[in-house]
Amino acid sequence: MIFRKKILNSSEEQMLLEAIKEAENKTSGEIRVHIEYNAKGDVVELCKKKFEELKMHETKDRNGILFYLAVKTKSFAVWGDEGIHQKVSQDFWDSITNLALLHFKNGNYVDGLKSAIYSCGEQLKTHFPIQADDKDELTNEISY
């Protein structure tokens, strides 16, 4: 867990978890963050693979979003399940990526992820508003 401590301290991790919680309080969508030290291969394919490993495709409305960050290689990708992907254009995914990368270039990983989380939360809220019977289908933990 040395890597974890170098990238996010407990306060920073808590800020990200709060951002996820706040975004998810407005939607039935699910958001998670995965952080690695090094990405070997195509970052989008690695993100898709991690999405499946984390079983994010098992939500009722197929509306999960995964943020994948590899710090050493400065690689970042976002993957949305088919439910949300059908509702937004590629321009949306590109804008999320660019928003995060603006912060990452200055080493502001937490700010970049928070901005991306909030932006995705707004899109999820538009297309998948919170329902009276909503339940948190996936844990909000940050995976490493």
Q: What is the pLDDT of residues 24-70, one digit of tens each?
A: 998 988 999 999 988 899 999 999 999 999 999 988 889 999 999 99
Q: pTM of the full predicted structure?
A: 0.90
DSSP-derived 3-state class of residue 30: strand
CATH topology of domain 2-127: Diaminopimelate Epimerase; Chain A, domain 1 (3.10.310)
CB within 8 A of 100, min separation 6: which ones?
67, 76, 78, 112, 113, 115, 116
Q: How far is CA 61 from CA 15, 24, 66, 94, 135, in A?
A: 27, 14, 15, 23, 12
pLDDT of residue 97: 94
How far is Cα 73 from Cα 42, in angstroms, rounded to an integer?
11
